[in-house]
Chains A and B, each alone.
Chain A
Amino acid sequence: MVDAAQHYIEEQPGGISACPACSAAPAAEDMARRARELEGATLALSLPGIHCAACIDTVERALNAAPGVREARVNLTLKRAQVKADADVEAADLVQVVEGVGYEAHELDAGTIAATATDRRGRELLMRLAVAGFASMNVMLLSVSVWSGAADATRDLFHWISAAITLPAIAFCAQPFFISAGRALKARHLNMDVPISLAILLALATSLWETSLSGEHAYFDAALTLTFFLLAGRYLDHRTRAAARSAAEELAALEVPRAWVLRDGEEVQLPVAELSIGDLIQVRPGGRMPVDGEIVEGASELDRSLLTGETLPVPALAGQGVSAGEVNLTGPLTVRATAIGRDTSLARMADLVAIAESGRSRYTSLADRAAKLYAPGVHILSALSFLGWFLWSGDLRVALNIAAAVLIITCPCALGLAVPAVTTAASGRLFRRGMLVKHETALERLAEVDTVVFDKTGTLTAGTPEATNLDAFDDATLSLSLALAEGSSHPLSRSLVTALRARGIAPAPVAELREVPGYGTEGLLDGRRVRLGRAAWLGAEAGGETATWLEGPDGLVEFTFTDSLRDGAEAAVRDLLAAGKRVALISGDAEGAVADLAARLGIEDWTAGALPGDKATRIVDLQAQGARVLMVGDGLNDTAALSTAHVSISPASALDAARVASDIVLLGGDLSPIPEALGIASRATRRIRENFRIATFYNVIAVPLAVAGLCSPLIAALAMSASSITVSLNALRLR
């Protein structure tokens, strides 16, 4: 907003430059305000529930009718609404408007998604693709007339017209290949774009030469169709990755970073980016710590499971340090910020992950491996046929023509489509099953996996506790605990309330119910004090399990809890074991809880109490033994392991750092698509290999013809189109 205002001022030099000293300040302020009013704000909402024309209509009508809204447009593909509104309109109000007409809506951080709003690279590729398509159709029309018998002056005329269309079209369309090839040559290595560029340029040069000598064969159409098919592959590839990137960014944008700060005795809401060290920040129950800091006021409990994997909440009292990413559970806390933004321990750990990630880029994709074999082979073959024909016939023109024909025939047109066509189909299928493939080689790596390592808290378990021993108590005890549990929003209390309500228990008449933040709730039952809370507070002996204690008329009673399983966890583990994969569980949690869960799921190989470093070391050990490890995890303590593993998956509920570190994000809460993803990945890899074989097969037939000098432009065009179409159809079988 400030940027826009400044921009506005700079564009109005006449108004304020006359007397900068005296009039500029108020005028500028005034103008900045007016600019802000004129510009308004662009807000974005995520609408996961919309799916039809009626949804679009309802949401747009509701938003456009909201006060201050200038224009609202729903994008069904992205399931988002873009709203242009006056500067004072808050996204939270708009969310309420949309929820008022019955649709789920979430605020999106406009800064985070702005990057994907306009996809410039995709547009450029599409434009080049269109021009290449247009030009190749026209040139093909002229070429067909030549092949079907146009001769002499007519043929020359057609060739010249083709040249006039082809040269500017190639200069525009083939730029991406030329640029990439130039970069590769500068770095002194070969990539797929080097033979492509060489083939296109050589075809153009010999065709021009032939045309000027009234020759019979010109390859203008081949150069253009080649460019068209290759651009189609590039565009598919780009679109798949752009879709994944925009969905990943939407996940990040859903966490709008805001904090309540005490400024001059008043609470104001500020973006986390604008906090400074020493600020007093209010963190409400259920809120996540935005900064590292020290508790100044309040008592509560902290859930550190995303950072350490522990499920047991940690008590938090004044004077204690907290780190960003921890979740405040019971009472409001006031925190003095000691480290903000990139300096928080959370961000520093995330940065370490980014450095560790370089290991992954060492993986060479199938396409790169093919290019490494292919590019030098093609060049040598073409050079040899040139030399052979030159020595044998002594005619430079014939030799050059044949070298060009060899390069065109072998040009990796089908190879360029072989990988993107398959990954597009496979990623699309995985996306429909709720998985977002972020990394370009993730599918190939996923196909090689033979060992799957799970994190416990938040990955196999949903992170919500479930009471285990309710059957052991009579109704009086249960109804008393329900009454006390209703006085708190602590996860254990809430879980108790849900479970007991589901059993049809009514709360006991407890008077003077109050919550003691960080400890529990207490009240009076028939004049006697009753309490529900931490073991230490009630004077009980704390065990290893997650538990809450009740002090009632009959003395102390313990409720034990276990983490409820995430949907599909059992099915996922069972299917993975059935598919012959090795499954392991590594958790930072206490031994009892981990052993219990491993037994429930049938996992034999489990480790408890693992530090973040231990997880990564364990995975390195496994990989040193030759295992290809898939790591599934969600917390900050998993990020190192996620980035060391051969391939990694994290649920959408994971911490941003963990999602960034993983190759694939599970969008739904369900784990059951994981075994299926392994299946799809190995089928996709098989298709890619098949495609390589198909492309090679066409080359094996056509190359001898080209070397022998028998390949006419017609045969070249047929071979090229046929192989590209077969490869695309083969990829479509995956859908």
Chain B
Amino acid sequence: MDILVWLIPISLFLGGIGLVGFIWTVKTDQYDDPDGASQRILSDQWDDHPKP
């Protein structure tokens, strides 16, 4: 059962990373245009180099 001492903090930490990531996406307006986001991946405009 000693393994729990490691496993529980690790699982909480990993979940926490996911949560922080989600909060970051909300704060940076990434859910403002879900339809647009699903279409933009089809655009080849920034395929060669990222948007400056």
A contacts, CB < 8 Å to B: 52-54, 56-57, 61, 74-78, 123, 126-127, 130-131, 134, 137-138, 141, 154, 157, 161, 165
Give the residues in chain A near B34, CB-CB below 8 Å.
77
Chain B positions within 8 Å of A52 at CB level = 39, 42
B15 touches A77 (CB 8 A): no
Q: Are B1 and A76 in contact (CB under 8 A)?
A: no
B43's closest neighbor in chain A, by CB? A53
Known: A126-B31, A127-B23, A154-B1. A138 touches B11 (CB 8 A): yes
Q: Are A75 and B33 in contact (CB under 8 A)?
A: yes
The reply to whether A137 and B1 form a contact with Cβ atoms under 8 Å apart is no
CB-based nearest B residue for A122:
B31
Cβ–Cβ contact B8 & A134, under 8 A: no
Residues of chain A lying within 8 A (CB to CB) of residue B19: 130-131, 134
Can you offer 5 A-B residue contacts whose CB atoms are under 8 A?
A52-B39, A61-B45, A75-B33, A126-B31, A141-B11
Residues 6-18 of chain B, each 1 if its beta carbon lies under 8 Å from chain A, else 0: 0010011001101
Contact (A77, B33) CB under 8 Å given A53-B40, A56-B43, A130-B22: yes
Are A134 and B35 in contact (CB-based, < 8 A)?
no
Report the bound CA distance from A625 to B8 in whole Å. Answer: 68
> If the complex has contacts A56-B36, A137-B15, are A127 and B42 also in contact, measured as CB distance less than 8 A?
no
Please state if A74 and B23 are interface contacts (CB–CB under 8 Å). no
Point out residues on B near A: beta carbons under 8 Å. Answer: 1, 4, 8, 11-12, 15-16, 18-19, 22-23, 26-27, 31-36, 39-43, 45
The answer on a CB contact under 8 Å between B45 and A57 is yes
User: Contacts A52-B39, A57-B45 given: A76-B33 contact, CB under 8 Å?
Assistant: yes
Q: State the Cβ distance, A114 to closest chain B Cβ, in Å.
A: 14
Contact assessment for A77 and B35 in the assembled complex, using a CB-CB cutoff below 8 Å:
yes
CB pair A75–B36 under 8 Å, yes or no, is yes
Task: Determine the residue in chain B with the shortest Cβ distance to A154.
Answer: B1
List the A side residues contacting B27 at CB < 8 Å: 123
Q: How far is the CB of B17 from chain A (nearest CB, A)?
A: 10
Contacts of A77 in B (CB 8 A): 32-36
Chain A minimum-CB-distance residue to B29: A118
A157 to B2, CA, bound (A): 12
B33 and A78 contact, CB distance less than 8 A? yes
Specify which chain B residues have a CB less than 8 angstroms from the CB of A137 in the assembled complex. Answer: 15
Minimum CB–CB distance from B19 to chain A (whole Å) comes to 5
Given contacts A53-B43, A130-B19, A134-B18, contact A76 B11 (CB under 8 A): no
Q: How far is the CA of A643 from the CA of B12 in the complex (A)?
A: 54
Give Cα A77–Cα B4 distance, bound, in whole angstroms. 46
CB contacts (< 8 Å) of A161 on chain B: these are 8
The answer to whether B26 touches A126 (Cβ under 8 A) is yes
A56 → chain B, closest Cβ, in Å?
Answer: 6
- In the complex, A113→B7 CA distance in Å? 49
Give the distance in Å from the alpha carbon of A75 to the alpha carbon of B16 in the complex.
Answer: 31
Bound together, the chains give a CA A238 to CA B30 distance in angstroms of 18
In the complex, the answer to whether A75 meets B32 with C-beta atoms within 8 Å is yes
In the bound assembly, the distance between CA atoms of A54 and B35 in angstroms comes to 13
Residue in B12, B26, B39 whose beta carbon sits within 8 Å of that of A123 in the complex: B26
In the bound complex, CA of A141 to CA of B23 (Å): 22
Contacts of B11 in A (CB 8 A): 138, 141
Which 4 pairs, one residue from A and one from B, show the smallest C-beta to C-beta distance? A76-B36, A53-B42, A53-B39, A76-B35
CB-based contact A130/B26 at 8 Å:
yes
With A and B bound together, what is the CA distance between A75 and B42 in angstroms?
A: 15
- Give, as a whole number of angstroms, the nearest-CB distance from A713 to chain B: 20
**Are A76 and B18 in contact, with the CB atoms below 8 A?**
no
| B-chain residues with CB within 8 Å of residue A141 when the two chains form the complex | 11
Cα-based distance from A141 to B11 in the complex (angstroms): 10
Q: Are A138 and B15 in contact (CB under 8 A)?
A: yes
Q: Could you tell me the distance in whole angstroms from the C-beta of B27 to the nearest C-beta in chain A?
A: 8
> What is the bound-complex CA distance between A126 and B15, given in angstroms?
17
- Nearest A residue to B8, CB-CB: A161
> In the complex, what residue of chain B is closest to A164 when comparing beta carbons?
B12
Select A138's contact among B12, B32, B43, beta carbons within 8 Å.
B12
Indicate if the CB atoms of A130 and B23 lie closer than 8 Å: yes
Measured CB to CB, the nearest residue on chain B to A126 is B26
Q: Which of A77, A78, A131, A137 has the most CB of B within 10 A?
A: A77
> Given A56-B43, A77-B34, A134-B19, 12 more contacts at CB 8 Å?
A53-B42, A53-B43, A57-B45, A61-B45, A75-B32, A75-B36, A77-B36, A130-B19, A137-B15, A138-B12, A154-B1, A157-B4
Cα A61 to Cα B51 in complex, Å, equals 13
CA distance A123 to B4 in the complex (A): 35
Give Cα A123 to B25, complex, Å: 11
A546 smallest CB distance to B (angstroms): 45
Docked complex Cα distance between A662 and B36 (Å): 31
Chain B proximity of A64: nearest CB distance (Å): 11
Closest A residue, CB atoms, query B1: A154
Residues of A within 8 A of B8 (CB): 161
| Chain A nearest Cβ from B18, distance in angstroms | 7
Cβ–Cβ contact A134 & B39, under 8 A: no
- CB atoms of B39 and A76 under 8 A apart: yes
Q: With A and B bound together, what is the CA distance between A130 and B20 in angstroms?
A: 10
CA distance A61 to B43 in the complex (A): 12
- Residues of the A chain whose Cβ atoms lie less than 8 Å from the Cβ of B15: 134, 137-138
Residues of chain A contacted by B18 (CB below 8 angstroms): 134
A56–B46 Cα distance when bound, in Å, is: 13
Q: Which chain A residue lies CB-closest to B39?
A: A53
Complex: A130 Cα to B1 Cα, angstroms = 31
| B26:A56 contact, CB within 8 angstroms | no
When distances are taken between beta carbons in the complex, the residues of chain A under 8 Å from B41 are 53
B21 to chain A, nearest CB (A): 10
Chain B residues with CB under 8 Å of A61's CB are: 45
B32 contacts A56, C-beta separation under 8 Å: no
Instruction: Give the residues in chain A near B22, CB-CB below 8 Å.
Output: 130
Complex-state Cα separation, A191 to B16, whole angstroms: 34
B1 & A56 in contact (Cβ 8 Å cutoff): no
- How near does chain A come to B51, taking the closest CB pair, in angstroms? 11
Assembled-state Cα–Cα distance A77/B12 (Å): 35
